[in-house]
Amino acid sequence: MDEPFQLEVACLPPHCPVTLRSTLCSEGNDLWESFSHYVSDERGRVNVSKDDSLGGSYIGCEPMGLLWSLRLAVGGRQNIRLRKKNMQTPLVVDISLFDGHTIDNFNTQTALAMTTMERWYMAPGVRRIEVRENGVVGTLFIPPGPGPFPALLDVWGLAGFMEHRAALLASRGYACLALAYINHPELQLGSGMGISYFQESWKLLQSVPQVSADRLGLLGSCFGAAIFILMASELPDISPRCLVAINSPSGLLNPGEGNYLEKLQRLLPETKLDANGHFMIKDAILAFGIDLERSLQAGGIQCPVLLIVGEDDQCVPSLESAQKLEAQMRAVGKGHLVTKLSYPEAGHLIEPPYHPVMRSSSFILPGQTVTLLWGGVGKPHAAAQEDSWRRILEFLDKHL
């Protein structure tokens, strides 16, 4: 899924305007589509890696634009994130070629040509193991071979449990435990939210035979990352070799607050809607006793930290939190451990590369479904996904 592809069109007349359209049918049966306008060269060829798109879902030279600019087709459900639940099957993307520069009604036209592409999260040989042990709920992905492998704990934010990044990391050589801690049918409400749950998960990962117990790292997004920062800072028995935090609202958590769910539940009623009906979580967080002064002290972290920030994050105060964290570590002489990658115009949902970019989507909260504004603008956000992933893999390679 994180590999670029090459797409070429041949045997066209010279200087012929054409439209390339990519479509994907998600597991939820929603149609995603993207299209772009090109003109063939004097040899009748179009090379998406080199040529400029003149319009459509993206403009300019975008080798992977047909993937990251995918959005839900008009006429279907809207506002839903692209989520793949089954890691053992690929995302299937069809790419069709149409005559002329078309912007809609693709279904009434005959394509000139078509090809199909499979995008996988799991490389061949990667093993997927569902984990339900000692109360820990998650999925473990192990690379093929005898090991032992460096390992990672992988968590997401309040959206809950997702496996795709852990599957990708295993495909890149890391044993990775995708950890559920909230919003999971097999976790009792709140039981995944205490410090002891994470300590148990850490111990579990260390005990996996194919894992090199002294080469563990933590990788998290959003709220999960904040928990990881807290763990690394406060808990002596958790000693990661490195930590990656993506858009973490680290200011939200204070040490000693054993159950973060209660804090969340206090947060929600305070949240307002903006003019577009988007649920402005970020404002609520900022208003809610941040007090980034009172927030968690990251000074206890002993390992290299990679902070990934989308400056247009509308969900959490990611930039402010990262700056605060960096300052705290500098204050105790550990500033050299921190690397901060800050991407202007990137939003909250910094996913692995080529994921469709969504500025907002619907989100299910206890008792209501709202539209959350994530932030992020098309091309810059896609570029942030691509660059941050490369930097993450380099960082992990170096420290694990």
- Give me the residues that bind another protein (CB under 8 A), please: 7-12, 90, 92, 94-97, 110-118, 120, 123-125, 143-150, 171, 173, 212, 215
Burial class (CB in 10 A: 0-12, 13-18, 19+), 4: exposed
Shortest Å, Cβ 175 to another protein: 11
Given the residues 37, 313, 315, 381, the one annotated as active site: 313
Closest to another protein by CB, 41 vs 345, is 41
Q: How far is CA 276 from the centre of its chain?
A: 24
- Residue 177 CB, nearest approach to another protein (Å): 18
Beta-carbon contacts of residue 236 (< 8 Å; ≥ 6 apart): none
Q: Which is nearer to another protein, 10 or 273 (CB)?
A: 10
355 catalytically annotated: no
Please report how close the Cβ of residue 16 comes to another protein at its closest, in angstroms: 9
Phi, psi (deg, nearest 5) at residue 173: 105, 10
Pick between residue 95 and residue 308 the one whose CB is nearest to another protein. Answer: 95
Q: How far apart are CA 228 and CA 220, in angstroms?
A: 7
How far is Cα 324 from Cα 308, in angstroms, rounded to an integer? 14
CA-to-CA distance for 324 and 82, rounded, in angstroms? 32
Hey, which residues does 91 pair with through a beta bridge? 119
| Active-site position among 37, 164, 278, 348 | 348
Residue closer to another protein (CB basis): 91 or 309: 91
Nearer to another protein, 257 or 394 (CB): 394
- Comparing CB distances to another protein, the nearer of 215 and 278 is 215
Q: Catalytic: 222? A: yes
Identify the active-site residue in 176, 222, 242, 315. 222
Minimum Å gap between C-beta 164 and another protein is 16
- Sorted by sequence, the CB contacts under 8 Å of residue 23 that are 6+ apart come out as 31, 32, 33, 73, 93, 94, 95, 96
Amino acid at 279: F
The residues facing 25 across adjacent strands are: 31
Least distance between another protein and beta carbon 13 (Å): 9
**E strands along 58-147, which residues?**
71-72, 91-99, 113-119, 127-133, 136-142
Torsion of CA 360, 365, 367, 370, to 10 degrees: -10
To another protein, the closest distance from the beta carbon of 307 in angstroms equals 25
Nearer Cβ to another protein (114/189): 114
As to burial, measured by CB atoms within 10 angstroms (0-12 exposed, 13-18 middle, 19+ buried), residue 202 is buried
Q: Rounded distance, CA 132 to CA 134, Å? A: 7
Q: Are 274 and 281 in contact (CB under 8 A)?
A: no
**Torsion angle, alpha carbons of 235, 348, 94, 115, to 10:** -80
Smallest distance from the beta carbon of 3 to another protein, in angstroms? 8
Q: Would you name the residues annotated as active-site residues? A: 222, 313, 348
